[in-house]
Every structure is written in structure tokens, then in C-alpha cells.
Structure 1
Amino acid sequence: MTSLTSAGWAQCSSARRTRSDASGKELATGGSCSIGEDDARSRQDEDYDDEGDSKETRLTLMEEVCLLGLKDPEGYTSFWNDCISSGLCGCMLIELALRGRLQLEACEMRCKSILTRKVICKSDAPTGDVLLDEVLKHVKETQLPETVQNWIELLTAKTWNPLKLHYQLKNVWERLAKNLVEKGVLTTEKQNFLCFDMTTHPLTKNNIKQHLIKKV
């Protein structure tokens, strides 16, 4: 009886060590930030299959955040929301990591915090998305790797270094809204606010936004 119990404990301990070693190797190689594009897209396909939505409406992560930040039924984001640009740029970095284009540098002997690890280019293959390819080009061509926080500051032009202002992404919200219009999720209208006209993008497919809200 004692020998069987000891053997059982030995097997359990061995299994735990194996799982721990596998997890450690994954983190050390930045596995959490280099998920394959096929895996990411297959998860997205499953979500849409469950809800019965059309597979033709594929949204990127930044398009989903853009859609969630849209005021209904007005079709615009809050004038006072200064964080949306930073959030969208962060989503672009995550989307590129999900597609296998970017990853964090590997941990050294002294485990670095995820905040201090640099973003490096894993693959420069085009994604087919203009915004994502623009960010990928910046990361690839930079001489010294930057952290995620630094890249968000560079992409949103919230940097004091005038030599790095060329990294700024311009008209991010407008370009994402245009993508959503082309996909039939939003439409374009002109509304009058006091003394000036403003371009708005009301929803045409409310079920897609409701599906995103349920996911969150």
C-alpha cells in the first residue's frame, strides 16, 4: 500500500514539473505574445459560428474596440476621451502579435518585467491591413527596440523627442471607421453641431456590437 502511494505521488510530482517546465519555456520565448495567426482566426470563427453571424464580417481587435467606443445612436466617440487613441495603438501591437508578426524579447537569467521587455519583429510579411503594416514597418525599421509603452507613446505622438515624431499614426479613428464602413458595419452621415458640420458613423449592424458586448 505504501509503495503504491509513493509511486502515485511520484507520478503526480513528475507531471507537475513537466507542466511547469513547459509553461516556463513558453514565457521565456515570449509565447504569450507570438500566437499564430491561424489560431487567432480559428477562435474568431468559432465565436461567430456560435452566434450565427456572417463569416464575411471579420473585425480586427482595434476595429472591435473602436466599435465598442462608439456612442449609439449618434455614431461618434466622446470629445473628452483622450485615451482612445492610446488604446487603439495598443490593440494594433496586440493584433500584430496575434498574427505572428511581433513578439517580446526573450527573458534573461534575471526574469524581466513584461513592462521592460522590448518589442521585436518576428516576421515582416504583410498583413493586408494598411494600419497594421504601417506599425509593422516602424517596428522593423527602428534602430533600437522599444517597450510596448514607448511604442504607444510614439504612435500617438505623445513623445518629447522631435526626432521620433515620424512614428505618429495619423487619422487612426477615421481610417478605422472607413474600414468598418467598407465592411458594412457602419455608415457615413453628416450631422450639424452648433455652427459646424461633423461626419458621424452610425451603426448599420447592431447585432455585431451586441455580440462584442456579450464577449466582454
Structure 2
Amino acid sequence: MSSFPSLSRRRTHTETDSSSTVIGDEEPRFRLVRTPTDSTSTSSMDSKIFSGPKILQDIVASKDGEKVPQLTIMEELLLLGINDKGHLSLRNEHLSSVLRCSILMELALRRRIALIPHQSRWRVPVSELVVEVIDDGLTSEPILDETLKMMKAVQTPLGAQAGVEKTSVKNWISLLSSEGWDVEVGTGYQLKQVRERLMKGLVDKGVLRSDTRNYLLFKTAAHPIADHTTKSDLIIRVARFLTASTFSGAALGEDSSNIRCPILRLVCLVCAAYTAGVLDHALSAANVGDEQHESALDRADQILVEFGCWPFGSPGPSSTPRLDRRKQAGRGSTPGAGDSRKFIGWLLQEVKSEIVQWSGGEDEDKDFGFELVAGVLEVFSKLD
């Protein structure tokens, strides 16, 4: 796809300090080994895989009554890629594009945007279906509100006069990045300084703090980690999600009962982190062993394939065969492949149950917001 210039996923292990949380290889399998300074017990952490304790201390309630975690998918993605000194690796050059994709997924999960029903939608890739705003109310997140305002403007007569019409998921990603569109039109809808604004939001939420660093003769802004517990719990959730051999819905925890689709939110985060190239850093920070590290990346790839189509887990009209895609990537089966297949089967069932629950009991194919999420993940799955 032209809007993403030859994105590549890297599997480079990064060094971390000794204070990182460890997921060891000892028996029992995937046992968490916490550092002496962390008072959180292993049993309590098992119930926080989908929602860390810091995140749930300040939950924003939407007008529909469900709860939204304090950190958005974009903020969690950025937090996974940032180091303790507040810097992002220069190797994550595609992170900005993936952040803009994550904005669309966040809006879809909040039921603010959806795909327009079309009678031939089963015959075209889901990423090529047209997006519309179904609720332009404020979200309390400035970058989400700005995106909604842009997308809503396209649906007005003034938008049509400016030469912009309702467009597809794939084209919206290009438009927000000002790639592949007319310059005069694209720059008017480009989201600027996304990383900096998300970091500022994390500072306001107490996760990061503002600081300056001397670089030669210049002073540069930096945002070191202020709340290490939030980042540590986020890394643990992601690492356990990608290495656990068995799973239970009870692990969601009591506090996540009213959060809209917590499992699907974590699926979106993992796929975005894998595509942006920050997943390696998160797994290394969790001190995952080499074998589990490779298995975790394979599982992330399988999850992306299964959820990058609609309905989730179906072949889709333009999907690359799963086996062929993994062969093309140069990866064979890993020691945990059997566990991953069982886990992904469970995952698909749980996500479908979530969709039915939050769609008012209707079938999953009647909720076009979740279909939009599949469209974004389909864009991810087509990247090299």
C-alpha cells in the first residue's frame, strides 16, 4: 500500500536494566517473577492482564454508561515504545503512521465512527469500505475530538465543495498522514505532532513528566517515565497475553466488567505494537526468554492475520492464505505453536462474545464499528 512505505517488522532483542519484570521459563510454565521492590503479588497480577491497577484508578465514564480506560490505545502504544528517559528509538520510524491508525480503532471502539452498510461489502476488502461519523460528541481526548471534527466536516456540504467526500478506512489513514492525496486537500486534514501531543496527554495523566536534556549546544524536551507501575503493568499484560498457554475470562478482573470490549482492545494494542516495531522492546523489558520471545512474535503475527479480516477469523475476500503468509515471512512453526492455535481459537470466541454483548445482542456482522477495526487491522496485515 502506497501510504505505508515498505514497513518492516524487526525482531531485535534490546537490553533492559535489571529492574524489569521477569517472565521466567521455570516451572510452572510462564510463572511471573516479581522484583523485591514490587509489592504486587503474582496472584493479584493474574487478574489484571487486561487492565493495570493505575489505569483503572481513574476511569472515564462515557455517556452510554460503560467505562473507558484512562489510557487510549495510542497512549499505551507510545508507552510501550518509550524508554525510561523519555526517548523513542529511531528505528520506530513507522510509529507515527500506526498511531494514526490506532486513532481510528479507538474511535470505532468508542462507537463514534463506523462503516457505511453496503450490499456488496462482502466482495471487497474491508479496508476499502467507506467510513462515517455516527457520534461527534466530545470524548475528553483532544486528539480524538480533532479527528472526529475533521471526519464530520467531510460529511457536510462544505466538505463536498472542498473536494473531499466520505472515504474508506485505507484512504482516511492516508489522509490523516497527508500521504497519497492532493496536497491542498491533504494538509487541511493532516494530524500534526501526534507523538508530542500524546506525550503531553500522558504528562497530564501523571504517567510521564516534562524535562529537558542538553544535546550539544541545544536543550531538547524529554518526557521520562513518572509512573513506572503503569508501564510495568502494561508490559506484563502484553507479555502474558503473548506467552500464556491457557487463559480464562475471569482474568479480566472485576473492574473491567463495564469496559467496552477489553479483550479486543488488547488485540488492537498488540497488533499495533507488532506493526510499529515496539513489541520487541516490550518483550525484552519483560525479560522473556529467547524461545518465548520468538513464540510471542509468531503469536502476534497469527493474531494479526486472524483479526485482519471480517468477520474475525474468516478468510476474507482478499486475505493471503495463512500458511503461505508465514512461509513468505520466513518463519516456521515454533515450539509453542500448538498452544498458540488453541489460544487464538479461544480468543476469537471471547471477542465474538464481547461483540454480541456490546452490540445489544445482535450478530457480529451487524455492528459496523467493529468491522472498521477489522479494516484497520487488515491494513496492518498487508504490510511487509
TM-score (norm 2): 0.41
Instruction: Name the residue aligned to 1:158.
Output: 179
Could you tell me how far 1:110 is from its partner in structure 2? 5.5
Instruction: Report if aligned partners of 2:52, 2:234 keep a CA contact under 8 Å in 1.
Output: no
Alignment of 1:72-87 (within 5 A): 72-87=83-98
Instruction: Name the residue aligned to 1:97.
Output: 108
Could you list the per-position Cα deviations for residues 28-85 of structure 1 after superposition, in whole angstroms to 9, with x for gaps in the alignment? xxxxxxxxxxxxxxxxxx8489754351271011111111111x22211123432111
Instruction: Name the residue aligned to 1:139.
Output: 151
Using a 3 Å threshold, how does the CA distance of structure 1 residues 184 and 50 change in structure 2: closer, same or farther? closer
Structure 2 letter corresponding to 1:158: E
Could you list the per-position Cα deviations for residues 117-175 of structure 1 after superposition, in whole angstroms to 9, with x for gaps in the alignment? 11111111111211101101111111412222221221122234122211011211111
Instruction: Name the residue aligned to 2:227.
Output: 205
Distance 1:159 1:74 in 2: 35
Using a 3 Å threshold, how does the CA distance of structure 1 residues 136 and 204 change in structure 2: closer, same or farther? same
Q: Secondary structure at the match of 1:157?
A: coil
Distance 1:162 1:88 in 2: 21
Query: Structure 2 residue aligned with 1:148, among 144, 166, 169?
Result: 169
Distance 1:118 1:203 in 2: 39
Matched, 1:170 2:192: yes
Instruction: Report if aligned partners of 2:80, 2:231 keep a CA contact under 8 Å in 1.
Output: yes
Structure 1 letter corresponding to 2:208: L
Runs of 4+ with >6 A deviation: none
Alignment of 1:10-25 (within 5 A): none
Structure 2 letter corresponding to 1:187: R
Instruction: Name the residue aligned to 2:337.
Output: none
- What percent identity do the matched residue pairs reach? 37
Using a 3 Å threshold, how does the CA distance of structure 1 residues 125 and 50 change in structure 2: closer, same or farther? closer
Query: Structure 1 residue aligned with 2:58, among 49, 56, 59?
Result: 56
Using a 3 Å threshold, how does the CA distance of structure 1 residues 97 and 47 change in structure 2: closer, same or farther? farther
Query: Structure 1 residue aligned with 2:207, among 161, 181, 185?
Result: 185
Using a 3 Å threshold, how does the CA distance of structure 1 residues 125 and 184 change in structure 2: closer, same or farther? same
Query: How many equivalent residue pairs?
Result: 170
Q: Secondary structure at the match of 1:62?
A: helix
Give RMSD over aligned pairs. 2.2
Q: Secondary structure at the match of 1:124?
A: coil
Matched, 1:69 2:81: yes
Structure number with greater CO (CA < 8 Å, separation at least 6) is: 2
Instruction: Report if aligned partners of 1:102, 1:122 keep a CA contact under 8 Å in 2.
Output: yes
Instruction: Report if aligned partners of 1:118, 1:147 keep a CA contact under 8 Å in 2.
Output: yes
Instruction: Name the residue aligned to 1:119.
Output: 131
Distance 1:195 1:136 in 2: 40
Q: Secondary structure at the match of 1:115?
A: helix
Instruction: Report if aligned partners of 1:155, 1:168 keep a CA contact under 8 Å in 2.
Output: yes
In structure 1, the gaps of 5 or more residues are 1-45
Could you tell me how far 1:93 is from its partner in structure 2? 0.7
Distance 1:107 1:175 in 2: 36
Could you tell me how far 1:177 is from its partner in structure 2? 0.7
Could you tell me how far 1:214 is from its partner in structure 2? 2.2
Q: Secondary structure at the match of 1:94?
A: helix
Structure 1 letter corresponding to 2:105: I
Instruction: Report if aligned partners of 1:48, 1:55 keep a CA contact under 8 Å in 2.
Output: no
Could you tell me how far 1:107 is from its partner in structure 2? 4.0
Distance 1:74 1:183 in 2: 17
Structure 2 letter corresponding to 1:133: D
TM-score (norm 1): 0.71
Q: Secondary structure at the match of 1:187?
A: coil
